Every structure is written in C-alpha cells, then in structure tokens.
Amino acid sequence: MRFGIIGTGVVGTALAVRLEQVGYECVGATTRSESSYARFRKYLDRDFLSLEELVPQVDILFITTQDGMISTVAANLAKRGLFRPGQLWIHCSGSLRAQVLKTRPDLPLKYLSLHPLQAFANVDEALAILEGTHFGVEGEGEEEGEEIVRALGGIPHRLNSEHKALYHAGAVISSNYMVVLAALAERLFREAGIEPEEALESLLPLMKGTLHNLSKVKVPQALTGPIARGDTEVIKGHLAQLSPDIVPTYLDLGRHALELGREKLEMSGKEYLPGVWQELTQIFGGLES
C-alpha cells in the first residue's frame, strides 16, 4: 500500500517510519513547516511533494496536521479535486470524528480516524513505544484501520462515532488530569514542609506503585487509603487543614472514591459498617444509601 503524509509532526513522522518498516510505501510528504520536514527527512528520506504531486499517487492519505487544520486541509483537497476514487483518508485526532474529513458527501472516498492512546514527547520516544500502544479506531474502513494499527504493532479498539468525545474525555482525565493531581499533591507536600525540589520526586514512586497495582489488580481493587478503609477521622483531618480552594476537588474525587470503595467491599462480600457509611455520605454527600 502506498501512502502519503500531510503534516510531518511527531505522530505523522513516527507513523510513516514504522509503516515503511513493515512494508508500506511512503510516496512523500508535504507540510507548511520547513523545520518539521527537515526532522522528517532525518528519519525517512522521502521527497517533499506538492499536494498535486502527492495525493493522486497514494492509496492512503494521512492528514496529521494540528486538529484545527484537519477539516480545512480536507476541504481544500476536495475543492481542488485532489483525490483518487477509493482512497482512504485518515486523521489521528482523538477528539474529532472521522467525518470532519468528509467535506463533500459525493466523493468516493473512505474516512477514518486512528488515534494513538499515548503521549509522545518526540519522534524517538514515539517509535520506541508505538508497539503495544492502544488506538481508537473510528469511521469508515474500520477493518483497514485495524490492519494498519496491527501493522504498527498497536492494539485497535473500535469507537462509537456518536460518543467519541467521551473516549477523548477519558483520555484527558487519565493523562492530563494526572499531571494536575500531581501538581496539587506536590503543593500539599510543600505546605507540609517538604523541600520544593523534593516534593514531586517523593510522590513519583507512590504514583508509579499505584499504576503498577492498576495493571495487576485493576479497578476497584487498586483503591487504597482512608476512604477504602472507612477511616472517617483521617478524612476529617484532611479537610480541617486543606486550603479552601482544594476542598471542592478533594470532595468531588472522594465521592467517586467512595463508590469504588463500596464496590471493592461488595466484591469480597463485605460492606461499610452502617455508622461509617452514614458518616462518609455526610462528608461527601450526593450518594444514595
């Protein structure tokens, strides 16, 4: 299969390199950024082609620009008649549906989204961890999409197009918000007296241990701590010293933790003691008895 790349960022470059390695043929690439193309050429020696030169030659067209440009690029190609019947157009956005590529419903094309569920800091890191990366697959030609993902060494998961935003929100919570939680915990450690340069370093082993537990025993069994134990006095102690701006976040997360704690106990045939449960629900609110 012959493919081309529009947009030679980290994801586009990494995909092109790996697909070449497994037998796909990269015809060339085009991009508005000279620096990103120069980086692309360090990994894959392919010509810079105009859209007119590139698009008619390929079976698969990857549009790996920034999210805000994907629809614009597709509309420009459609307006200029730069397509070939039967082509598969692919973008790699986690938030946008494949249909953003379908700017003209009459074109005989297939549209697909392949989103790597991973945070890539640079091309080298992306190439190192692509194998084993999970991908969200959504749109038309899902079978071909799954084939491409497996060729990359990834693990495909078909998505419901109507609810793709929920998939992306889940990714944001698990990745971006983990950084936010680390920042809040780091702040609390500093307020507790730990030196600023040591606060995050002391938290990272705990966070890594939790991720390890999640990989082994899953949710909800990986939940530990005072909510899981029903230790209301410890929770009250937290609330007594937390800064007012952090209290709502603590309570919101605690409410979800309490649901998981109840589920964890039920899986082993147990439950919170009635008095403990009543006190916990009074603290966190919003839970039915």
pLDDT at residue 121 in the model: 87
154 and 238 in a common domain: no
Instruction: Provide the CATH number for the domain around residue 143.
Output: 3.40.50.720
Look at residue 138 in the predicted model and tell me its pLDDT: 97
Return d(Cα 194, Cα 167) in angstroms, integer.
37
Residues 170 and 113 in one domain: no
Number of domains in the chain: 2
Shared domain check, 201 and 125: no
- Give the predicted TM-score (pTM) of the model: 0.88
Q: pLDDT tier at 58 (50, 70, 90 boundaries)? A: very high
Whether 3 and 26 have beta carbons less than 8 Å apart is answered as yes
**Any domain includes 289:** no
State how far the Cα of 189 lies from the Cα of 257, in Å rounded to an integer: 21
Q: Which of these ranges, 3-7, 138-142, 201-205, 237-241, has the smallest mean pLDDT?
A: 138-142
The confidence band for 287, taking pLDDT boundaries of 50, 70 and 90, is low
Do residues 132 and 28 both lie within one domain?
yes
218 and 143 within one domain: no
27 found inside a domain: yes
According to DSSP, the residues that pair with 53 across neighbouring strands are none
Distance, CA of 284 to CA of 266 (rounded, Å): 20
Domain end position, chosen among 159, 188, 213? 159
- Same domain flag for 154 and 184: no
Average pLDDT over the chain, rounded to whole? 95
pLDDT of residue 286: 57
In a domain, 30, yes or no: yes
* 191 and 155, same domain (yes or no): no
What are residue 6's DSSP bridge partners?
Answer: 30, 63
Q: How far apart are CA 283 and CA 285, in angstroms?
A: 6
Domain end point (choices 132, 159, 186): 159
In terms of residue numbers, what domain contains 217? 166-284
Q: What is the CATH number of the domain that holds 250?
A: 1.10.1040
Name the domain boundary from 133, 159, 185.
159
Residue 226 lies in a domain: yes
Phi and psi (nearest 5°) for 251?
-70, -40
